[in-house]
Structure 1
Amino acid sequence: MLHSRFCCQWGNTLSSTLLRFPLADHKKVFAIALPMILSNIAAPMLGLVDTAIIGHLPDAIYLSAVAIGAMVVSFIFLLAVFLRMATTGYIAQSFGANDRAAQRQHFNHGLLLAVLLGSAIGLGSPWIIDFAMWIVQPDTQLIPLASDYIGIRLWSAPAALITLITLGVLLGRQQSGRAMWLAIITNGVNVVMDVILILGLGMNVKGAAWASFSADYVTAAVGLYWCARALNWSPTSIHIKFNALRQYASVNGNIFIRSLVLQLCMATMTGYAARYGSTVVAVNAVLMQFLMLISLGLDGIAYAVEALTGAAKGQRNPHKVAYWCRLTLLWSCIFAIAYTLLFWLFGPAIIGLITDIPEVITTAAQYLPWIVLLPLIGHWSYWFDGVFIGLSLSKGMRNTMILAAAFGFLPLWWLGLPLQNHGLWMALSGFLLMRGVFQALWLRLRWRQII
């Protein structure tokens, strides 16, 4: 009786909290968030098909070579995600101001940077390959195959970076349905070309590379077409304003530093896990899948924050900025609580679905409490990233990330060395927590200046 009364009261409280905002505004948030959540789900599913095709070749060396090559290429392209973030913020603001000319200008600047940076990556591929092989130190027989894969893929960098720009435009204009389709097109074309080039023509590793190369250029072409129609843009309308370009490049540079610091912290965690044995490496690989599950929902909310707060800033409406912040934070908290309950109740079952190795399952269960707490600790940083991107606060993103690494990750990692893998998860948790703390403080101190 008491339990049912509590549940009823809690349900009424939650309902009244949700109803403080019009239902139409909740729908507006999910019109942006839901397609991106679906694309986050679709991409790994298609990626599994891609891996299965490579994995059915007669020799495991091909799968290993593609795995190494894809890791190197993904790391490079992931560092370039600053192009998408900066573009989303600027486009969202000019979209809110109903200034299509400004949107075209930001699109032009983004395309120029994407082509220049992508071409530099392609031209620098021989040196990138040598450096990557020196860092990774794969078996001798894998080096030529992985090098072939990387060499082909890096020449798709201009297309991959143009796609990031088009994603930024579509998300900034709140056209997340088309952004979702770009992710699906990339993976769909990749799978089809894998079947043709690997199974049909027997091209093995080079076939996998050319399949991804084709997917990148097809997706870039589709993205360019959609953006051109939305912005009434054509190549003849390209006009570069160098002062604005310098500011745009500065914003991208700040976000690049932010992304680099994040990747270095994650790489440190992965690298030190290898010192504690192969079982710990396998355990952390399993537990990282929980982070992927968290990102499915929280990334979707973050995309909505970017688009809606950016549009409100473009309308010069600080009250609406604050309104969208409150509404999206509500959903970020709901997702975080739901994830924590899910992992608390079904964490062991999820581990069992990912692996059936008894030693890994038993060891992973020891670290499950960190995973249960992670959504509550980490959702703030996802949400604040959306706010900072939407308001184009690139210096704040850079500085708070550096502070979180300096005062969160590094000291806890050092203090946690005797705890081995528990220390690594403590460092990651502290890093996510301090990111949220520093972002909140930075935003609070500068709120009146930035709106």
Structure 2
Amino acid sequence: MQKLLGFARADHRRVFAIALPMMISNIAAPLLGLVDTAIIGHLPNSVYLSSVAIGAMVVSFIYLLAVFLRMATTGAIAQAFGADDQTEQHQLFTHGILTALILGVVIISLSPFITSVSLWLVAPDPKLLNYATDYIQIRLWSAPAALTTLICLGVLLGRQDSRRAMWLVIITNFVNVVLDLILIVGLNMNVRGAALASLCAEWTTAIVGFYWCRHTLGWQLSKARIVASKLSLFLQANGNIFVRSLTLQLCMAMMTGYAARYGTTIVAANAVLMQFLMLISLGLDGIAYAVEALAGEAKGRNRPNQVRYWCRITLLWSSLFAAGYSLVFWLLGQQIIGLITDLSAVVDTAMRYLPWVIALPLLAHWSYWLDGVFIGLAWSKAMRDTMLLAAITGFIPIWWLSKPLENHGLWLALSGFLIMRAVYQAIWLLRRSRKVV
């Protein structure tokens, strides 16, 4: 059997059969998002673009916190898929859809409260308030659809059907752009048109995703049953990952929130440099998805040696991507910053902190990869605990002690946080390495 980098070529292809479509979807989403922004941005009044930007940030934050639905579903489905347990896959899909719909309805019912609190926190210009309110309240009607799509993504990725998972992401953005042209440009509906376009896109994607999963699994509503004990375990896993995601988002928010104390130029420079994280995720997320599906399947098949094998090959690729990113950021960092902004003060400030970003892929890729391993092996409690420990013993004390360093202190805290996450996750993995099944 032909080998590459110590592993069979066929296994490298299997990793990228999962990873590559998700990398493509990660690229497609922001590109189509740029078209979306450009359409609303060409309206005669900038108040429309500002309102959509604020509203989209609020809605995206809510849906981003709900990513626990995708993560918990992927790991559980991957193991049931590996064990060839069709009944368990049906049960997981039933519980997932039920959870998504209930949470979606709760979000809709709380939309006035969510809107008022979020806009109080953001404190936008009074001219933006009514438009941003309309946008958020329209978009939140898509909550059941957006959360259902997360369940469908989890099912497809767990079953290693990453091409359809990729198409779900692309469908959302494509429908959104087409409807933007119709509603905003054609019907002059400005902010409400942008919100309705996204609403329709999310419901379209949810319907397509549900149809694909239903036929792939052979799921039938008439045979769907709620099993209280299994639903409780599913909700517990989701709760653990929610705490993990919330802790992560709060730490990342500090990079913008506390930087405001150091001036608007620092805030802008940090915002530019944080875009490098998006570039990192294009590759590292794809590898993480691959280890989720492959390690989960191997655990479901009760093959611990295969779990370790897939962990090793995906760690190799995660490391190679990380080294490649650091090299690109070192050689082309200034040019990338220049593509994002042409404000000389912001560029000069961002260049002062670029060394932190060059080191970021080498520090961050461990947690991307380990998250994938933990999701595949359904270690949600470990994900929660290691994230909390990293925040409590890493980010918070380093940030507090390095406050005299100002913005360098924030980047030091983020780096320490990433290192501590990797350390705690690695310790957990090594302790459990003989009990992965």
Q: What residue number does 2:43 align with?
A: 57
Displacement of 1:119 in angstroms is: 0.5
Q: Are residues 1:372 and 2:358 paired?
A: yes
Aligned counterpart, 2:405: 419
* One-letter amino acid matched to 1:393: W
Correspondence for 1:172: 158
Q: Choose from 74, 80, 87 the match for 2:73.
A: 87
For residue 304 of structure 1, what is the aligned residue in structure 2? 290
Partner of 2:56: 70
Question: Paired residues, what number?
Answer: 436
Q: Whole-Å Cα distance in 1 between the matches of residues 405 and 44 of structure 2? A: 42
Whether 2:130 is the aligned partner of 1:131: answer: no
Alignment check: 8 A CA contact 2:262 2:407 kept: yes
Report the CA distance between 1:449 and its aligned residue: 3.6
Q: Equivalent residues in 2 for 1:1-400 (5 A)? A: 18-400=4-386
Partner SS state of residue 350, structure 2: helix
Report the Cα offset of residue 17 of structure 1. 8.6
**How far is the alpha carbon of 1:101 from its aligned partner?**
1.4
SS where residue 219 of structure 2 aligns?
coil
Q: State the one-letter code of the partner of 1:106.
A: L
Q: The residue matched to 1:367 in structure 2 has which SS?
A: helix
| 2:237–2:381 contact (8 Å) kept in structure 1 | yes
Task: Flag as ranges the 4+ runs of structure 1 deviating above 3 A.
Answer: 16-19
Deviations 1:141-199 (CA, angstroms, capped at 9, x unpaired): 21111111110111100000000000000000000011000000000000011111111
Paired residues of 2:24 and 2:166 also in contact (CA < 8 A): yes
- Post-superposition shift, 1:234? 2.3
In the other structure, the counterpart of 1:401 is 387
Q: Distance between the aligned counterparts of 1:210 and 1:202, measured in 2?
A: 13
**Amino acid in the other structure paired with 1:397:** M
| 1:445 aligns with one of 412, 431, 437 | 431
Superposed CA offset, 1:49-82 (max 9, x none)? 0000110111111111111100000000000000
Larger displacement relative to structure 2 (386-395 or 338-347) = 338-347
Output the CA distance in 1 between the equivalents of 2:98 and 2:243: 20
What's the secondary structure of 1:340's corresponding residue? Answer: helix
Q: Distance in 1 between matches of 2:421 and 2:171?
A: 34
Q: Over aligned residue pairs, what C-alpha RMSD do you find?
A: 1.0
Q: TM-score, normalised by structure 1?
A: 0.95
Shift of 1:281: 1.1
CA distance in 2, matches of 1:121, 1:352: 40
On the 8 A contact 2:299/2:436 being kept in 1, the answer is no
SS of equivalent residue, structure 1 residue 138 = coil
Partner of 1:433: 419
Aligned amino acid, residue 79 of structure 1: L
Which residue of structure 2 aligns with residue 10 of structure 1? none
Distance in 1 between the 2:436 and 2:242 partners? 21
User: Which whole-Å CA distance do the structure 2 matches of 1:363 and 1:134 have between them?
Assistant: 30
Maintained 8 Å contact 2:370/2:425: yes
Instruction: Give me the whole-angstrom Cα distance separating, in 2, the residues matched to 1:45 and 1:105.
Output: 36
Q: How far is 1:133 from its partner?
A: 1.5
Distance apart, 1:354 and its partner CA: 1.3
Shift of 1:415: 1.4
In the TM superposition, residue 418 of structure 1 has moved relative to its aligned partner by 0.9
| Residue type of the alignment partner of 1:302 | A
TM-score between the two structures when normalised by the length of structure 2 = 0.98
Take 2:138 and 2:434, find their aligned partners in 1: how far apart are those partners?
49
Unaligned runs of 5+ in 2: none
- Structure 1 residue runs of 5 or longer lacking an equivalent are 1-15
Asked if structure 1 preserves the Cα contact closer than 8 Å seen for 2:307 and 2:436, the reply is: no
How far apart are the structure 1 equivalents of 2:96 and 2:180? Answer: 30
Separation of aligned partners in 2, 1:141 and 1:345: 43
Whole-Å separation in 2 of the counterparts to 1:336 and 1:58: 43
Percentage of identical aligned residues: 66
- Distance in 2 (alpha carbons) for counterparts of 1:88 and 1:378: 22
Offset of residue 379 of structure 1: 0.4
